[in-house]
């Protein structure tokens, strides 16, 4: 037989699954390692020397360092992760709330001023002054005192 057919006999299906399992575990260990490194820098309660010590331990003796860090500080690691997620959600909610309440744009204010002028509620001079204020960004139609009489 040729060498290509021997490969199929020497590498059975279960061996392929075993290899994929080890590869997956290896990738997961790297994910855990990077999460621990991020957590070391995120922790405000540790001093700089403690952070340097943990980082050196995790990098110099990787498997033992990761295992000891997860055992010693795993609970706090989860708490910090939850706090960061809550802070991000709060910032996002605040941004959405501010954006939704953002007020009216100058185009909307000009359209409203035009409608008020078309109804005859304000004079041409009042319309011109309010329009200048809107275009300069210093005020809105309601704040200028040019609201309908």
Residue 140, pLDDT above cutoff 90:
no
Residue 146, pLDDT above cutoff 60:
no
Q: How would you classify residue 103: left for phi > 0, otherwise alpha for psi between -120 and 50, otherwise beta?
A: left
HSE-CB for 16 with a 13 A CA cutoff = 7
pLDDT band for position 64 (50/70/90)? very high
Asked whether the beta carbons of 86 and 115 are under 8 A apart, the reply is no
**Which pLDDT does position 112 carry in this prediction?**
87
Asked whether the beta carbons of 20 and 11 are under 8 A apart, the reply is no
Whether the full predicted model's pTM is greater than 0.85, yes or no, is no
Residue 2, pLDDT above cutoff 80:
no
- Largest Cα–Cα distance of the chain, in whole Å? 101
Mean pLDDT, the chain, rounded, equals 82
- CB count in 10 Å sphere of residue 122: 20
Which has more pLDDT, 31 or 110? 31
């Amino acid at each position: 037989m040729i060498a290509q057919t021997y490969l199929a006999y020497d590498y059975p299906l279960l061996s392929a699954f075993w290899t994929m399992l080890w590869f997956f575990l290896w990738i997961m260990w790297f994910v855990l390692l990077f999460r621990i490194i991020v957590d070391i820098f995120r922790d405000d309660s540790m001093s700089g020397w403690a952070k340097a010590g943990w980082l050196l331990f995790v990098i110099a003796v990787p498997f033992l360092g990761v295992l000891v860090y997860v055992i010693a500080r795993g609970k706090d690691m989860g708490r910090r992760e939850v706090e960061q997620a809550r802070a991000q959600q709060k910032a996002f909610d605040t941004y959405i709330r501010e954006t939704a309440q953002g007020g009216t744009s100058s185009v909307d204010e000009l359209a409203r001023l035009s409608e008020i002028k078309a109804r005859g509620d304000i004079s041409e001079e009042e319309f011109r002054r309010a329009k200048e204020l809107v275009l300069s960004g210093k005020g809105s139609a309601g704040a200028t005192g040019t609201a309908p009489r």
